[in-house]
Structure 1
Amino acid sequence: MTVSTAAIDIDTAASQSGFEQHIDASEIRVDARTLQPSEELKEAMIEEEGVRLTVYRDVAGYPTVGVGHLVLASDNLAVGERISEDRALRFFERDLAKAKRVVVDLVGDVRLYQHEFDALVDLAFNVGEGTLSPDKSPRLNAAIAARDHDKMVEELSYHHAKGSVANGLVYRSERRANIFVDAEYADPRAIDA
């Protein structure tokens, strides 16, 4: 799908004049810097990650808590410790903000639909910034540089944790691709059942 020149001109003129205009990012690709993770994405991520208030080790063995929050030294938490729901929510919002910054840095001036942005935010949240670097994800970076949205979706799959295929990551990648291509946020496991 292509964006009409008129739509681009309206968006560009609005941003240059300082006049903020509501543009529906489900119907037109926009500057990623103007987007926020959608509520649909947040619900899908919570469904994928779960909400765990006790620090545990994820499939890769990393201490994790809340909604897939990788425990940092600055969090002062150890495996087995509990946190409040409020703290889990704060971690989630902070991690989402970081994933958004990673996506904005990654895509630069490539325009995205809301659902494409959401899929990339999920990817950044799930695999981390380092995994999306040009060295570790050269084909994704090349697809973004070429503004090739079809190639981008081909690079959204990450199935391995600590060198082994993790079934949860296989489904997560399928869900991410469905979000990117069709704005379909539903769990593919529920559809397959």
Structure 2
Amino acid sequence: MRLSKAGENFIIREEGMVLHTYKDQIGVLTIGVGHTGPDVKEGQVITEDEARSIFRRDVERFENCVRKGVPNLRLEQCQFDALVSFAFNVGCGNFASSTLLKLLNQGKISEAAEQFQRWNKAGGKVLPVLTRRRAREARLFLTGQYVS
């Protein structure tokens, strides 16, 4: 399973697309669609095409992490997309160790969906923007509504 076009658009709306480097809410240097890492340099500027290309490469990593996390589950496309959005934001390590994933693999879908809201902090602080994002990811996961 791969992230759908609607899922890509969902993540882009959630993350935003910024064509120059900036520091995110906790001070991490970021560019494009939430891209971080050693290749991101202060003062860097990219084109929209470059941002989309980087995003696609990043998404592949998170698709793989979701597939690896739920190897025996048959997910709906909207569930897969919500999980990729979640992993994209919290990272594969946090996704892999999350109670959300444990409950999902136990077949406890509703209980797993409730876990999205627990991931609303960055740098130890509750961020309203993350609280709202998690609500939208949970809604996507449960209902298939790709609304940001």
TM above 0.5: yes
d(CA) in 2 for partners of 1:58 and 1:186? Answer: 23
- For the Cα contact (< 8 Å) 1:57–1:79, is it kept in 2? no
> How far apart in 1 are the matches of 2:93 and 2:79?
20
Amino acid aligned to 1:118: D
Q: Which has the larger radius of gyration?
A: 1
Task: Supply the RMSD in Å over aligned alpha carbons.
Answer: 1.2
Gaps of 5+ in 2: none
- Structure 1 Cα separation of the partners of residues 113 and 16 of structure 2: 25
Q: TM-score with structure 2 length normalisation?
A: 0.93
User: CA separation in 2, counterparts of 1:44 and 1:121?
Assistant: 10
Q: 1:93 is paired with a residue of what secondary structure?
A: helix
| Counterpart-to-counterpart distance in 2, 1:98 and 1:144 | 20
Query: What SS class does the counterpart of residue 111 from structure 1 fall into?
Result: coil
Counterpart-to-counterpart distance in 2, 1:123 and 1:84: 25
The runs of 5 or more residues in structure 1 that have no matched partner are 1-34, 188-193
Matched, 1:179 2:140: yes
**Secondary structure of the structure 1 residue equivalent to 2:82:** helix
Matched, 1:43 2:9: yes
How many residues align? The count is 147
Q: For residue 89 of structure 1, what is the aligned residue in structure 2?
A: 52
> Aligned residue for 2:107?
147
Q: 1:108 aligns with which of 44, 49, 71?
A: 71
| Superposed counterparts of 1:53-92, under 5 Å | 53-70=19-36, 72-73=37-38, 75=39, 77-92=40-55
Greater RCO (CA < 8 Å, at least 6 residues apart): 2
Once residues 185 and 145 of structure 1 are traced to their aligned partners in structure 2, the CA distance between those partners, rounded to angstroms, is 23
Matched-pair identity in %: 35
Amino acid at match of 1:150: S
Q: Distance in 1 between matches of 2:44 and 2:69?
A: 35
For 2:28, give the aligned amino acid. Answer: Y
One-letter amino acid of the structure 2 residue matched with residue 42 of structure 1? E
1:52 maps onto 2:18 in alignment: yes
Aligned mates of 1:142, 1:81 — CA distance in 2: 39
Query: TM-score when scaled to structure 1?
Result: 0.72
1:89 deviates by 0.9
